[in-house]
């Protein structure tokens, strides 16, 4: 099924103060609004786009051509000479292109792709439209002074507009339409003098042709001004929290710090692989300091190892924020982490061995390395088998985040040998525990 989508991107967006390139090209954590919207839609299966342009059309058309090549999808600009006459005039420009049901979205609304996936399966009234409606009237991301309100009765929209009395939902600007919308746009403009999309939806609602699709509390936001832009960025960053495979240290200590770092890095041409390599180099330097001997070097090495562990979380965060995830990147990060673990544990072993030439510490160091590697080796299988429990927050998980924190604490308290004993016992016990937990899965 070829899904077509019309995106309205013709307006000036004067409230945004976008610096001259037009609101669709305003960056949100390093990625433009229009690119974030297009990528979200591509993930739902949309392959053919029509984008109505108007204000600053040259810059936007150039960006759309680049995105068409980057995303390997068809993006056709449609120019609206009367872009400042109401958003309905922009929709009307596509009447000759869209002769079958299509998606209709705004170029300044960010959303969870699950909303569109649900809409694609939602019944479409014959000769009408389906509009995604947010029934959470306490949604903190909604600008109550600007949002379009809707009143829904028995799943159908009965009225729509701003300053609406008795409303029970918000218009998210995400539609599935039949070509009948074009006739209603023409009629609304000609008879009522209303050139807005809401005017046409109001006519369809009066005829029982406007269905409401509940978004189920999922994320969406109209990025209409600088305050909304900050809210959108914070919402995207918050979505990085609570990764299902995070251990307790990563979730409650490392992640809050790494997200702040990622927010800064997202504005620069830094890739996830750059961050993985930087984290690995920090771990190597930490291992060298720990192995050098002496308490000051040991303590600084432990601190640097923990810093590297925090930074290590930013590679995945940047990958998600900037749509740069790749199988190779994840594999590279895992390989570098194993090397870093080996160097850090060997350095801790060597540190103690230099002070006291005791052969047993070599066995303990070996056991710590083996236990750590086995925990990492069993991680994928364990996480996949326990995914449902992890998603509910019910799964117990120990991993690299705990291991590196133990190295940091042991280094600060000058307890290299004790740290290796604890890591050897805890990591091997965790690997064995996973074998028992997963044996019948």
Judge whether 89 and 80 are in contact, CB under 8 Å.
yes
pLDDT for residue 393: 46
Q: Which segments of 72-121 does DSSP mark as H helices, in order?
A: 87-92, 113-121
Percent of the chain exceeding pLDDT 90 equals 76
For the chain, the first-to-last Cα distance in angstroms comes to 37
Segment 56-80 shows an average pLDDT of: 94
pLDDT for residue 441: 62
pLDDT for residue 17: 59
The Cβ of residue 176 has, within 10 Å, a number of other Cβ atoms equal to 25
- pLDDT tens digits along 271-313: 999 999 999 999 999 999 999 989 999 999 999 999 999 999 9
The region that residue 177 occupies, defined by phi over 0 for left and psi between -120 and 50 for alpha, beta otherwise, is beta
Distances from the Cα of 245 to the Cαs of 111, 177, 227, 363, in angstroms?
24, 40, 32, 30
Distances from the Cα of 144 to the Cαs of 138, 139, 169, 212, in angstroms?
10, 9, 11, 20
pLDDT for residue 386: 60
Judge whether 301 and 295 are in contact, CB under 8 Å.
no
Judge whether 204 and 128 are in contact, CB under 8 Å.
yes
Residue indicated by tokens 């290299």: 416
Q: Which segments of 359-415 does DSSP mark as H helices, in order?
A: 360-377, 379-385, 387-391, 400-412
Residue 142 CB burial class (10 angstroms; 0-12, 13-18, ≥19)? buried
pLDDT for residue 389: 55
Report DSSP state, residue 54: B
Segment 68-85 shows an average pLDDT of: 92
- pLDDT tens digits along 209-249: 999 999 999 999 999 888 999 999 999 999 888 676 778 89
Domains of the chain listed by start with CATH number: 4-233 (3.90.550.10), 240-437 (1.20.120.1760)
pLDDT for residue 1: 63
Judge whether 53 and 89 are in contact, CB under 8 Å.
no
Question: Most confidently modeled of 15-24, 257-266, 393-402?
Answer: 257-266
- pLDDT tens digits along 88-142: 999 999 999 999 999 999 999 999 999 999 999 999 999 999 999 999 999 999 9
Segment 162-166 shows an average pLDDT of: 90
Rounded-to-integer distance, Cα 333 and Cα 315, Å? 8
pLDDT at residue 260 tops 50:
yes
Closest CA to 12 of 52, 54, 64: 54
**b/e sequence 32-59, b meaning 16+ C-beta within 10 Å:** bbbbbbbbbbbebebeebbbbbbbbbee
Segment 197-208 shows an average pLDDT of: 94
13-17, 42-46, 400-404, 417-421: segment of lowest average pLDDT: 13-17
Q: Which two structure tokens, joined as six digits, stand for 308?
A: 């590297």
Residues with Cβ within 8 Å of residue 240, at least 6 apart in sequence: 255, 259, 262, 317, 320, 321
Rounded-to-integer distance, Cα 55 and Cα 8, Å? 11
Helix (H, G, I), strand (E, B) or coil at 86: coil
Confidence tier at 381 by pLDDT (50, 70, 90): confident
């Amino acid at each position: 099924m070829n899904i077509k989508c019309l995106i309205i991107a013709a307006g000036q967006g004067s409230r945004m103060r976008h610096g001259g390139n037009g609101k669709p090209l305003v960056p949100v954590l390093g990625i433009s609004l229009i690119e974030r919207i297009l990528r979200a839609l591509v993930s739902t299966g949309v392959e053919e786009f029509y984008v109505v342009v108007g204000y600053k059309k040259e810059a936007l058309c150039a960006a759309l051509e680049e995105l068409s090549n980057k995303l390997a999808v068809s993006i056709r600009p449609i120019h609206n000479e009367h872009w400042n006459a109401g958003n309905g005039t922009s929709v009307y420009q596509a009447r000759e292109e869209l002769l079958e049901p299509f998606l209709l979205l705004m170029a300044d609304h960010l959303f969870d792709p699950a909303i569109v996936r649900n809409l694609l399966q939602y019944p479409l009234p014959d000769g009408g439209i389906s509009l995604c409606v947010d029934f959470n009237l306490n949604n903190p991301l909604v600008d109550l002074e600007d949002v379009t309100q809707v009143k829904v009765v028995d799943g159908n929209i009965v009225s729509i507009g701003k300053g609406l009395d008795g409303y029970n939902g918000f218009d998210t600007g995400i539609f599935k339409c039949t070509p009948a919308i074009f006739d209603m746009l023409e009629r609304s403009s000609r008879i009522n003098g209303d050139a807005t999309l809401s005017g046409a939806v109001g006519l369809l609602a009066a005829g029982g042709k406007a269905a409401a699709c509940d978004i189920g509390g999922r994320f969406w936001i109209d990025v209409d001004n600088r305050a909304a832009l900050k809210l959108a960025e914070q919402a995207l960053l918050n979505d990085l929290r609570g990764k299902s495979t995070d251990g307790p240290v990563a979730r409650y200590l490392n992640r809050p710090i790494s997200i702040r770092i990622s927010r800064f890095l997202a504005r620069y041409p830094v890739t996830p692989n750059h961050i993985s390599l930087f984290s690995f180099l920090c771990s190597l330097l930490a291992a060298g300091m720990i192995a050098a001997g002496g308490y000051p070097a040991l303590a600084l090495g432990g601190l640097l190892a923990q810093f590297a562990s925090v930074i290590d979380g930013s590679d995945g965060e940047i990958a998600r924020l900037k749509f740069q995830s790749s199988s190779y990147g994840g594999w590279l990060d895992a390989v570098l982490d194993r090397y870093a673990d080996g160097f850090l544990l060997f350095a801790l072993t060597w540190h103690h061995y230099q002070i006291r030439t005791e052969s047993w510490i070599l066995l303990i160091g070996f056991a710590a390395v083996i236990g750590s590697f086995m925990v990492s080796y069993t991680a994928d299988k364990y996480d996949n088998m326990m995914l449902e429990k992890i998603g509910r927050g019910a799964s117990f998980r120990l991993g690299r985040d705990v291991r590196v924190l133990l190295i940091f604490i042991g280094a600060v308290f000058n307890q290299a040998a004790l740290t290796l004993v604890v890591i050897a016992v805890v990591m091997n016990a965790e690997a064995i525990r996973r074998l028992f937990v997963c044996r019948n899965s």
